[in-house]
Amino acid sequence: MPRISAAARTPVNGRVSHWFTELPAPRAPLPGDRDADVCIIGAGYTGLWTAYYLKQADPSLRIAVLEARFAGYGASGRNGGWLSGLAPGDRNRLARRYGRESVLAWQRALNEAVDEVIAVADREGIDCGAVKGGTLQIARTRAQAARLAAEVAEERAWQVEGITELSKDEVRQRIAIDGVLAGYHTPHCARIQPARLVRGLADAVERLGVDIHEDTPAVEIGPGRVRTPAGTVRAPVVLRATEGFTARLPGLRRRWLPMNSSMIVTEPIGPRLWASIGWQGRETLGDTAHGFFYAQRTVDDRIAIGGRSVPYRFGSRVDRDGAVPERTIARLTAVLRTILPQTRDVAIAHAWCGVLAVPRDWQATVSFHPATGLGEAGGYVGHGVTAANLAGRTLADLVLGRRTPLTGLRWVGHRSRDWEPEPLRWLGVRGLYLAYRAADRHEATGRAATSPIARLADRITGKP
Cα 68 to Cα 24, 28, 153, 241, 401, distances in angstroms: 16, 12, 43, 12, 29
- Domain range list for the chain: 18-123+194-256+361-399, 130-193+258-359
pLDDT of residue 1: 43
What interhelical angle do 452-461 and 424-443 show, nearest 10? Answer: 160
| 275 has a pLDDT exceeding 80 | yes
Report the distance separating Cα 402 and Cα 394, nearest Å. 10
CA distances from 172 to 176, 180, 296 (A): 4, 8, 16
383-405 CB burial, b ≥16 within 10 A, e <16: bbbbbbbbbbbbbbbbbbeeeee
Please, which pLDDT band fits residue 235 given cuts at 50, 70 and 90?
very high
Q: Please compute the mean of the pLDDT values over residues 368-396 and round it to a whole number.
A: 98
* pLDDT for position 3: 57
Instruction: Give the mean model confidence (pLDDT) for residues 233-241.
Output: 98
Check if 18-123+194-256+361-399 and 130-193+258-359 are the same fold: no
Cα(86)–Cα(388) distance, integer angstroms: 12
Identify the CA nearest to 70 among candidates 29, 106, 110.
29
374 membership: H or E segment, kind and range: strand 374-378
Cis peptide before 423 (omega within 30 of 0): yes
Whole-angstrom distance, CA of residue 216 vs CA of residue 213: 6
Superfamily designation of domain 18-123+194-256+361-399: FAD/NAD(P)-binding domain (3.50.50.60)
Q: What is the strand order of the sheet 231-234 is part of? A: 34-35, 231-234, 225-228, 220-222
Q: How far apart are the first and last CA of the chain?
A: 36
For residue range 102-115, list pLDDT tens digits in order: 999 999 999 999 99
* Coil vs helix vs strand at 297: strand
Task: Quickly list DSSP for 234-256.
Answer: E-SEEEE--GGGGGGSTT-TTTS
Residue 291 pLDDT > 50, yes or no? Answer: yes
Residue 461 pLDDT > 90: no
| pLDDT attached to residue 5 | 52
Q: What is the mean pLDDT of residues 6-35?
A: 79
Whether the predicted pLDDT of 11 surpasses 60:
no
pLDDT at 177: 98
Instruction: Kindly state the average pLDDT of the residues 44-64.
Output: 98
Q: Which tens digit of pLDDT belongs to each residue from 123-175?
A: 999 999 999 999 999 999 999 999 999 999 999 999 999 999 999 999 999 99
Q: 130-193+258-359 architecture in CATH?
A: 2-Layer Sandwich (3.30)
Ranges 200-214, 343-357, 381-395, 424-438: which has the least confidence: 424-438
**182-186 vs 63-66, strand pairing mode:** unpaired
Residue type, 187: P
Q: Please determine, for residue 4, whether its predicted confidence score (pLDDT) is greater than 90.
A: no
Distance CA 95, CA 307 (A): 29
Contact yes or no for 8/351 (Cβ under 8 A): yes
Could you tell me if 224 and 238 are in contact, meaning their C-beta atoms sit under 8 angstroms apart? yes
**Beta-carbon contacts of residue 99 (< 8 Å; ≥ 6 apart):** none
pLDDT recorded at residue 24: 75
Q: Are 176 and 340 in contact (CB under 8 A)?
A: yes
Mean pLDDT of the chain: 94
Say what percent of the chain tops pLDDT 70: 97
pLDDT at 14 over 70: no
The answer to whether 338 touches 444, Cβ cutoff 8 Å, is: no
Note the pLDDT of residue 95: 93
pLDDT value of residue 15 = 78
Q: Report, as an integer, the average pLDDT of 354-365.
A: 96
List pLDDT tens digits, range 310-327.
789 999 999 989 999 999
Q: Is the pLDDT of residue 8 over 80?
A: no
Cα 203 to Cα 124: distance, rounded to the nearest angstrom: 9
What local confidence, expressed as pLDDT, does residue 463 receive?
Answer: 77
